[in-house]
Structure 1
Amino acid sequence: MIFKLRCLCFSACTLFVSASSISAPVPASGVAPLELRIAVVSDGRADYFARLLEESLKLIQQPYHIQYVQDIPARRMWWMLGRGDINVFYGMQSKEKDNDKQLVPVRNSLTNGLIGQRVLLIRRSDTEAFLQVRSLGDLKQTGLIAGFGAGWGDTRVWKASGLPLYEHAAPWNTVYAMVAAGNRHVDYLPRGVIEVLAEARAHPELVVEQHLLLAYKADFGFYLSPSVAHYRPIIERALKAAEASGLKARLIDEAFGADIKALNLNRRLRLQLPAAPDQR
């Protein structure tokens, strides 16, 4: 594991500045800094969530120290969170997680529901098949199979809709080649509008489907280890301040605005999927 530290000094600083321990000054009021250890991935997917957390804490002048633990498999991250090896992680919100005694949910939806708006990564040869879809029934009748990671909450949405799906247990990055191959029991990848174009750029063997927008209630949230449950009201206050001030909207636009605009969501056929049974 690689540990990267960033601290709040109430001034601009660069991301992941040091691998050594740095102490942030504590304000004269004596407010103790939050000591956070958060799991992230080095491909940039976590950048928005890390920035939202940090900028929100800065907004309310809450000092903090953050250690970034990089590139741990997702299932292991949740195990580490329960143990307290890390103490904050972000993931899809669900009643199952909220009721888990080893997790403390932070009550805030981090992308304003954008992760529940899905555009498809497909094989170019399947373009016409998706253009013919006018309803969930049509999509089911194509027989095309959606791909998800094993255990993802999205699988419950597809099952509730009666849509065929495949759960990928191997490292996620191998699934793109499986879709492209056309003979591996997975045909398309429903990806959030905040991630699909970045993935398409990284995987030119697939294309972004231009006709459909599949929508359902879903979002990411922060989850804490029970050992820092007392941080929850502070982080919730910081995130609410970020919403009220417009900071959160600005960060979403800076991170994802150009890609969302390029997807032409208003011109797509919107298919509403039922929420998963354990969604909030």
Structure 2
Amino acid sequence: MLAVGPVAASAATAPQQIIYPRPESEHDSRYLYDWEVLRMALEKTRASFGPYELHQAAQYMSPARVTAEAAGPGPINLFVRATSVQLEQQFRPVRIPVDRGLIGYRLLLVRNEDLPRFAGVDTLDQLRRFRIGQGKGWVDVGILQAAGFKVVEGNNYDGLFSMLTVKRFDALSRSVDEALREYDERHEQVGFEVEPSLALYYPLARYFFTRRDAEGEVLARRLEAGLEAMVQDGSLQALFMTYKGPLIKRSGLAQRRLFRIPNPSLPPETPLARSELWYRPQESAGKH
């Protein structure tokens, strides 16, 4: 029977096997930061939990395929995802936000010719007139719909950008860092802009999830210990700013008109009271 606490590392300890998903396509760079956080958390717990081996799954997978693999006998035993009540019931969450809640700050990717339409938005009701694109099954879909937005879902990540171009929806809602990175990677081929003055916010956390079995509990406890150590020594915040700080600065997030909407799918166990776990736009604006 597997223990769920730290184990003493020794030469005889078999390496802990961690298999995480490959992204949806060769152009999908969304998860590079997450896996760097994962590696650091595992390294910080090597002495107490022992050696590990980290592998990426062989095939590109959609989010739905990832959860199906992780829920069944497939090889994937860890993934990162925006949380919801349903997801936390099915899998074991590690309740330290990997991206410090940045995923809840949303910018809009829009067609260049539509920029004047968005420039006239002063209220949330005015923003609700636009159709918002999201990926099928993303937790954001329900959040936006509950707030009165019309949401158009796309079946795959890469296809969302084509859907924007052919006017299936008016704006693609993305987190701050995703929006700027995707603009850099794709705008010349697809033709869109980051809307410069607006932002949405809803409380949302991206967690590492493991299986709800003995091995999954061991891995979750290890990641909790590693991430807590990173929060306490400042290395999580430092890694966050290294990967995401330049994009946040470019976004001008602190100067945007910010519309706040609730997240009815946020689990009550979400550690909102731990302010050290959450990013605030004032950090990048130099206001503390």
Q: 1:33 aligns with which of 15, 26, 39?
A: 15
Shift of 1:279: 4.3
What RMSD over aligned residues (CA atoms) do the two structures have, in Å? 1.8
CA distance in 1, matches of 2:13, 2:231: 23
Q: From the superposition, tell whether residues 194 and 84 of structure 1 become closer, same or farther in structure 2 (CA, over 3 Å).
A: farther
- Name the counterpart of 1:207: 193
Farther off after superposition, 160-169 or 58-67: 58-67
1:1-280 alignment to 2 at 5 Å? 27-28=9-10, 32-41=14-23, 42=26, 43-61=28-46, 62=49, 63-69=51-57, 70-85=59-74, 86-100=76-90, 103-140=91-128, 143-169=129-155, 171-182=156-167, 184=168, 186-204=169-187, 205-227=191-213, 228=215, 229-280=217-268
How far 1:126 sits from its partner (Å)? 1.2
Contact 1:150 1:168 in 2 (8 A): yes
Displacement of 1:28: 3.8
User: Within 2, Cα distance between the matches of 1:99 and 1:258?
Assistant: 36
The 3-state SS of whatever aligns with 1:165 is strand
Q: Which runs of 4+ in 1 moved over 4 A?
A: 29-32
Q: Please tell me whether the aligned partners of residues 40 and 46 of structure 1 are also in contact (alpha carbons under 8 angstroms).
A: no
Distance (Å, rounded) in 1 between the aligned partners of 2:239 and 2:165: 33
Count, aligned residues: 248
Contact map agreement 2:84 2:265 (CA 8 A) in 1: no
The residue type equivalent to 1:93 in the other structure is T
What TM-score, normalized to structure 1? 0.83
Rounded to whole Å, the distance in 2 between the matches of 1:279 and 1:203 is 34
Counterpart of 1:131, as a letter, is: A
Q: Identical aligned pairs, as a percentage?
A: 26
Unmatched runs of 5 consecutive residues or more in structure 1: 1-25
**Ranges in structure 2 where 5+ consecutive residues have no aligned partner:** 1-7, 269-288
Deviation at 1:32, TM superposition (A): 4.7
> Which structure has the highest helix share of the two?
2
Please name the residue that 1:21 is paired with: none
Residue number in structure 2 paired with 1:12? none
